Structure 1
Amino acid sequence: MAQDTNGILAGGGASNSTTNGTENETAQEEETKYAPHGSICGARNLYQTKPDENGETSWTKDLPETLVAPAEDEDSAQYAMLVRHTKCYDGRKSLSIHSVVVQSEALKTFLGKVLDGYPGVTTTLERLEFTQPFKPLVHRWEDLVMAREDEVLDAVTKEHVDLFYKILEAELRDTLARKKDLIRNGVITHPLIWTLFEPDDAVISNTSIPRGFLFSDCSINCRTKAWVLTCRHIDFDGEDFGYKDEDFAANPFIGTTPITSLPVFPLKYHPEKEAIREKLIAQGKRWEEHKGYHYRQYEGVAVGFSEDDETKRYHVKSRIIIDAEAFNVFHPYKSIHVWGYSDIPQELNDDLLMITSHMVYGYSLKDKEWLQFSLYCTSDIEWDSHAFESLVLPQEQQDLKELILAFAKAQSKQLDSFDDVVHGKGRGIIMQLSGPPGVGKTLTAESVAEVMQVPLYAMSAGDLGTSADAVERSLKDILRMVPKWGAVLLLDEADVFMEARSSTDLQRNELVSIFLRMLEYYEGILFLTTNRAEHIDPAFESRIHVSLAYKELEAPSRRHIWSQFLGRSANAATFSDEQLEKLAAVQLNGRQIKNMMKTASLLAWSQQKQLGYQHIETVLNLRTSNALKLT
C-alpha cells in the first residue's frame, strides 16, 4: 500500500522498470493491477476545473493552481463578530458590508430581546448571520437604539453592542435617514418599499372596501421588477380556520408615491387607522357568522374554478347555499387549502377577525355551480309566504295541497320515525307529480320549499348525464348533499328514469335500475315530475308516497292565474271581468300565461305605458303558430 497525494489513502500494484518506447509502455499498462472496485478504505479527492468557453466545468485529480486560505479559523473565532466586505461601485464608498456574523454570546442575548418575535431570526444559533439589506435590523432599528440607551448592560455587553451599533449604523445610515424622511412625508420610493413592511405587520388593501392581512414577505420579480408583497389572511376550509397567502404587485414607478397608494400598506400609516380597524373587525365578525351552512340571496360577481385551476367569473343572481365543507367534498376540481390552522383558535379574537377573508364558498342553485362568493353581495332571502296559496289546482284536488305540505314538513322535522328493515332505507319522502306541461307540477315543489323556507334543488334528467356511470355518480352526490341542507329535491321530466323496463332497451333499463337503487337510501324530500304517468315502471309504485295527477287547466283556473300575475305586476292597469273572461277562454297553460305576461310587460315598457289589455291582446294575436286570437 502507498500514500497517494490526491487521496486520504490509496493503493496500487507494483510497477516493473521498463525500457523507453511504445512497446514497453503498453507492457506496463498491461501489467498494472488495480484493487477491486470500491475495495480501498480511502477517499479520492477530485477538484472542479475552471469553466471552459461554454461555461462548463469538469473534475480533475490535480489541485487548483491558486488556493486561498480559509478566512474563518481559530484566529477569527476570537472576535465578537465577523464583518464581510465587498467592493462597492456607487461612487460614495469603495467597500460595503455584505454580511455580519455575530459570535459574541453577550451580543446575541442583547439582539434576542431587540429582535424578539421577528420571523426567521433565531438569535440563539451558534452562527447568527445578518446579510444585506439587513431587513431585521432596519425594521427594528429604533428598538435597537432604545435598548442600547436604556438597558443596564454589563461592561462586556456594552462594548460589543456599541461596536455592533457603530458598524451597522455607518452601513445603514443612508437607508435609515431616507426611510425616516420619506415616512415623515407620507411617501416612499420603489427601491425602499421593503423598509415599510415588517413581517407580521397588519396591512390593508388599497381597495374600495379595505381588506386586512398580515404581511409575510417581499421579493423582486426579476422579469417585471415589481415588488411581490406576500400577505396572508384567514380562511375557513369547512373544518378549521387557517391562513391563505395572497400576492400583491407593487409595480416600478419613478420618484415617490404616497404610501397609501400602494396595493397594500401597513395599517399604521393609514390616517384613520382606528376607524379602519373597527370596520375590519366588524367585517370579520360577519364573515365568521357565515361559518357552516347558510341559505342566502346573492347578486354580484362570483368566481368559479376549472379543471386546470383557471378562474372564471360569473354574474350570479340566485339563491345560494354557503357551505365550505360541501364545497370541499363535492366540487369536481377545487378544494380549499389552508395552513397554520393549529395556531388559530376556533373563536377568533379581534386581531384575527380583522384579517379574515371576504369570500365564502358554496353553491348557486340557479347556475348549478360551485363558486366562491363575495360576502358583500349576500343578503337575507325575501320569502313569499303566500306561495303555496297561489298554487292553482282543480277544486277537487285542493285537499292534496295540504297533504303534500304535511308530508314535507313531517319529513323535514323527522316526525316519521318509521324506517325500513334495513337501516337507512326508506327514510325519504317521494312524491310523484304527473300531467301535461304548464299545469303546476314544478310550481308545487317550488311552493313547498318556499313555505318551508328551505332550498329547492331543481334538476332535469339532462343534468345527470346519459351514461349509467355518469348518472350514478351525479345522483350519489346530489342525494348526499340535498338532505344535508334540508333542501327539497325536484327532478323535472324524470320519465327517462321511471319508464317501465323492457327487454329491448338494456341501456335505459340500467338507468332505471340505478335510479331505483339510489332512491332506496334517500333521506330527504323528493318531487318527481313526469308527463307519462301511465308508463311508469311498477317498481316505483312501492316507493312513491304521494302521487298527484294534474289535469289540463280549465277556464276558472286560467282566470285565477291571469289575476295572480296581473296582481303582482307593479305597472298593470285594472282589468275588467269581461277582459279576464276573454283571457281565461284562451287555451294556455300556466307557463304560457307567464310568458305572455312577460312579453306584454316588455311591450308596455317600451311604449312607456301601463300594462293594459291591449298589450296582452297584441302578444296573443302574434301567436300565429296556432292562430290564437281573441274574439
Structure 2
Amino acid sequence: MKTPSPNDVNIPQVEATDGDVIMINPTDPSAQVEEKPEIEIGSICDVKDLYKGKENCLCCITWSAEPQKKLPEKSSDETGGYAILTRRTEGHGDFGRDQKLHSIVIQSPVIRDVLEPVLKEYPGITSELSSLTIEAPFACFYHRWAELKAAFKLCTGETAQHMGLLMTILTEEFDGTQKAMSDLLRNDVIEYKYLWALFNPGAVLITKMQGLEAAVILEDAVEYDEQNGDEGYALLCRHIDYNGGTTGFVSTKIKIPEFKGSKPLSSLPAVPLRTREDQQEVTEKLVRQGKRFAELRNASFLEYSGVAFLTNNRDRDIDDEEQRVQTQVNGRVMVDAYACFQFNRGERLYLRPLTVTDPINRVNHQSGHRNHRHIGAKHGPRAYHAPPPPPPPPSNWNRIDLWDPHTGHPVQESKGRPKEADQIKLTDEQLLICAPFVRGYSFKTKEWLLLNINELVPIKWTEDMFENLVLPMEEKQLLLALTRSHAKANLKFDDFVVGKGKGMIMMLDGAPGTGKTLTAEGVAEAMKAPLYTMSAGELGLETRVVEKKLSDILEMATMWNAILLIDEADIFMEQRGPHDLERNELVSIFLRHLEYFKGVMILTTNRVEMMDLAFDSRVDIRLHYPDLDSPARRKVWANFVDKLPGNSIFGAEELDRLAAVELNGRQIKSAMKTAYLLASGNDDDVRFEHIQSVLRITREMIL
C-alpha cells in the first residue's frame, strides 16, 4: 500500500496573530492541533429551542435540540453559548399555539444584570445564578412587566440586543394572558387558572381577620394538595402585630380552594387592594385603624361592646378563625398585650423584626427536586408542605419576642414592659397592615380576648356613685383619702422585711345589702381605676391551683393599679382549726399573699365573728356596716328615684312611707327595678302605686 505524501493530504492551516500561516503535519506525532476557541456562556445573541424528551423522575426532564419521540441517550448539540434557551413541550398550547413553552433558561450575563434589580426580592428568584431557569407561566416577569419594560428602554448596544430576545418571547407569551385578565377584571371575576396572575408578591391584599377587614402583604403563593383531597392556592402573607414587648411581622396563610369556571372577586378570601373601587377609602380607614393599634400597644383601660374571640395557641391561619371561640363582651376591659402573654401562658406569638421582609422558609423554585409549587408552576407535584413548627421555648422563658426566619430560632427575649417612648414609630405603609384587633382582659368575664379596635371607646365614669353611698361622711372621706394617697405616694413605708406590708387592705363587714360592694365600686369610680372583683369560686379549692390563680390576680391588680375587691371572702378568712387541714392551707396561702400585696384590696364579709385572728394584723382599715335605719333607707329610695327616666316624681310623704319598710339596699334596688319594668310595659312613668303593687305581690307588704 502506498504511503501518502504530504501533497496527498489536506493540511489544515491556522492563521497566526501576525498574519503568517502555520503548517501542521498531521503525521508528525509531536505536532498539536490548536483547539477551537471555547464560546463564552450566553454570548451568542440568539435563542435556541429545546424540546421535551425523557423524564428521569417527576421533576427532572431531558431536553433535545430537535423534536423527537425518542431522545438519544447523549446529545451532541452544544447549547451553552446561546443567550436564551427555550424549552418547549409537545401538544396544543394556550391561545391556539401548537406547542407550549415549558421554561426558559437565561444564560446571557448581560440579561441577568438587567434582571437583578427588576426581580429583586421576588420569591424564589436568584438572578445571580449563572443559569437562571424560569418556568411557565413566568409569573415573575408578568408581575414585574412594567419594571421590565422600563429597564429595557434604558438598554443600549449588546445589552439591548440580548434583552430584545427575552422581550420578544415574553410579549408573545403574555399576549393572550393579558387579554384574558383584562376581560376578567373588567367584569370583577377571576378563573382559577389565572389566580397566579392576580396575586403579585409584594402586593397589598384586603382580607378578613376574625371577621374584621384588614390588609396584609403577599409574600409568596403556592399550590397545595392536602391529604383529605382538598386542593387550591395558599397565599403566604405577613401583617404587623404586637406581643407586649416587640412590634413585628406575623406570618399568615390564606387558602383559596380550587373552583370551576369564573368566580366573583368579592367571594375570594383575599383580593388585591388595587382591584377595589374604594381603594382610597379603604386605605385611609385601615391607616386610621393602624394608628389606633399603635396607640393601644400601651396598657389602656377602656369600654367594649361587641363580639370578641378568646385568645388561644392555634396556628395563625386566617382561614382557621372559626376554630377560635367567639363570645359577646359588654363592659370594661384592660387592653394590655404585655400582661396577656405574661399571664395567659398558653398564648404564643412569634414575630419577625420589621427589618426582615423575607418570608420564612422561602423555597427557591429554580431548584431541582421540590416539595411544593409556586403559583403558576404548571408542572410537578401538587403538594404544599407547611414549614415545621418552631421548637418549644426554653423553660425559663416567659415569652418569645422575635423569631428568626432564617435560623428558625428565637432571637430576642423580652426583659419587661417597654416604655411608651420606646415604642417603635410606624410608617403609613406599616400602619396599613397592622392587625385589626388587640389583646385585652375582660373584667366581667375574666377572660383574655381578641378585641375589635373599632369597638373600644373611652369609659363613661359614674361621677356621683361615691357621693350616693349611704355612709357617714367621715367614713367616706377616710376611704377615699387613703386610697388616693396610696395611689399617689407609691407607699414608701415598708416592713422590717423588704417588700412586705406595702398594700392597703380594707375590710368591710356587715349584713347583706348594706352597701359593702357598692363602697368598693364607688371608690373605683371616684379614683377612675379598674375594679377587679374576685370571688372564692374563681379560685377553686385545690391549694396548688388557688395559689397560682391568686398570685396572678394580685399581680395583675398591682400592675394595673386596680382596686381589688374580694367579695364574700369568708372562706379565706375563716378561723383555722386542728382538723380541716385543707381549709387551713387555703387560709395560710391567703394570709401569706396579703403580706406582699402592694395594691389596694377591699375584703367584704358578713360573718366577721368567724374570722381568723391572724387577719387583724393584716387589715389596715376595718369598717362595720350596720343595718340600714329609716333615714338611710329613705336616702337609698331617693337616690334610685333620681335615676329613673322620664318624669317620675315621689313626694316627701311617699318617700317616708317607703323608708318605713325594713328592706336592705339590694331589696330596695330590686323593688325599684321591678316597678320600672311594670310601668314601662304600660308606657308609663314609675309612680308610688307601682312600687306598692310590687311590694304587695313579692313581699306581701301593704304600704
* TM superposition score category, shorter chain reference: 0.7 to 0.9
**Mapped pair 1:279 → 2:354:** no
Q: 2:486 aligns with which of 390, 393, 411?
A: 411
Q: How does 1:312-391 map to 2 (within 5 A)?
A: 312-343=325-356, 346-391=424-469
How far does the alpha carbon of each residue in 1:79-123 deviate from its partner, in whole angstroms, 9 at most, with x for none?
333333333355834432222232221111111132234233221
Q: How does 1:475-624 map to 2 (within 5 A)?
A: 475-571=550-646, 573-623=648-698
1 or 2 for the larger relative contact order (CA 8 Å, sep ≥6)? 2
Normalising to structure 1: TM-score of the pair? 0.82
Q: Is 1:566–1:572's contact at 8 Å kept on the other side of the alignment?
A: no
Distance in 2 between the 1:360 and 1:376 partners? 10
State the SS of the aligned residue for 1:161.
helix
State the SS of the aligned residue for 1:118.
coil
Q: 1:85 aligns with which of 85, 88, 91?
A: 88
Partner in structure 1 of residue 102 of structure 2: 98
How far does the alpha carbon of each residue in 1:311-332 deviate from its partner, in whole angstroms, 9 at most, with x for none?
1111111100000011111115
Q: Is 2:674–2:694's contact at 8 Å kept on the other side of the alignment?
A: yes
Opposite residue 237 of structure 1, the aligned amino acid is N
Opposite residue 311 of structure 1, the aligned amino acid is R
Q: Which moved more, 1:462-471 or 1:604-613?
A: 604-613
How far does the alpha carbon of each residue in 1:413-436 deviate from its partner, in whole angstroms, 9 at most, with x for none?
135311112221111100011111
Distance in 2 between the 1:333 and 1:349 partners? 31
State the SS of the aligned residue for 1:169.
helix
Q: Which moved more, 1:297-306 or 1:436-445?
A: 297-306
State the SS of the aligned residue for 2:591.
helix
Q: 1:415 to 1:218 in 2, by over 3 A?
A: closer
Partner in structure 1 of residue 170 of structure 2: 168
Q: Which moved more, 1:411-420 or 1:560-569?
A: 411-420
Partner in structure 1 of residue 418 of structure 2: none
Distance in 2 between the 1:126 and 1:388 partners? 79
Q: 1:584 to 1:322 in 2, by over 3 A?
A: same
Partner in structure 2 of residue 243 of structure 1: 249
How far does the alpha carbon of each residue in 1:130-187 deviate from its partner, in whole angstroms, 9 at most, with x for none?
1232211111123223322x123331x3332222223333333321332244445655
Distance in 2 between the 1:509 and 1:307 partners? 36
Q: 1:306 to 1:162 in 2, by over 3 A?
A: closer
Partner in structure 2 of residue 62 of structure 1: none
How far does the alpha carbon of each residue in 1:442-493 deviate from its partner, in whole angstroms, 9 at most, with x for none?
1111111100101000011111111111110101101111111011000111
Partner in structure 1 of residue 414 of structure 2: none
Q: How does 1:147-296 map to 2 (within 5 A)?
A: 147-148=151-152, 150-155=153-158, 157-183=159-185, 187-205=189-207, 210-220=213-223, 222=225, 223=229, 226-250=232-256, 256=262, 259=265, 262-296=268-302
Unmatched 5+ stretches in structure 2: 1-55, 58-69, 316-322, 358-422
Opposite residue 682 of structure 2, the aligned amino acid is Q
State the SS of the aligned residue for 1:489.
strand
Opposite residue 341 of structure 2, the aligned amino acid is N
Opposite residue 346 of structure 1, the aligned amino acid is I
Distance in 1 between the 2:513 and 2:215 partners? 51
Q: How does 1:15-30 map to 2 (within 5 A)?
A: none
Question: CA RMSD for the aligned pairs?
Answer: 2.7
Unmatched 5+ stretches in structure 1: 1-49, 52-65
State the SS of the aligned residue for 2:240.
strand
Q: Is 1:600–1:619's contact at 8 Å kept on the other side of the alignment?
A: yes
Distance in 2 between the 1:500 and 1:342 partners? 60
Q: 2:128 aligns with which of 118, 124, 144?
A: 124
Q: CA deviation at 1:70?
A: 6.7
How far does the alpha carbon of each residue in 1:566-617 deviate from its partner, in whole angstroms, 9 at most, with x for none?
1111146211222212222222111121122222222222222212222222
Q: 1:315 to 1:289 in 2, by over 3 A?
A: same
Partner in structure 1 of residue 118 of structure 2: 114
Distance in 2 between the 1:142 and 1:292 partners? 42
Q: Is 2:634–2:655's contact at 8 Å kept on the other side of the alignment?
A: yes
Q: 1:573 to 1:370 in 2, by over 3 A?
A: same
Q: CA deviation at 1:78?
A: 3.1
Q: Is 2:118–2:147's contact at 8 Å kept on the other side of the alignment?
A: yes
Distance in 2 between the 1:569 and 1:260 partners? 49
State the SS of the aligned residue for 2:350.
coil
Distance in 2 between the 1:424 and 1:70 partners? 84
Distance in 2 between the 1:565 and 1:518 partners? 38
Partner in structure 2 of residue 41 of structure 1: none
Opposite residue 289 of structure 1, the aligned amino acid is E
Q: Which moved more, 1:238-247 or 1:494-503?
A: 238-247
Q: Is 2:309–2:449's contact at 8 Å kept on the other side of the alignment?
A: yes
Distance in 2 between the 1:421 and 1:404 partners? 26
Distance in 2 between the 1:412 and 1:70 partners? 87
Q: 1:211 to 1:307 in 2, by over 3 A?
A: closer
Q: Is 2:504–2:600's contact at 8 Å kept on the other side of the alignment?
A: yes
Q: 1:461 to 1:228 in 2, by over 3 A?
A: same
Opposite residue 287 of structure 1, the aligned amino acid is F
How far does the alpha carbon of each residue in 1:222-279 deviate from its partner, in whole angstroms, 9 at most, with x for none?
4455544443321111111122344445566665556566443222333343343223
Q: Is 1:552–1:589's contact at 8 Å kept on the other side of the alignment?
A: yes
Q: Is 2:289–2:454's contact at 8 Å kept on the other side of the alignment?
A: no
Q: Which moved more, 1:89-98 or 1:326-335?
A: 89-98
Q: 1:540 to 1:70 in 2, by over 3 A?
A: farther
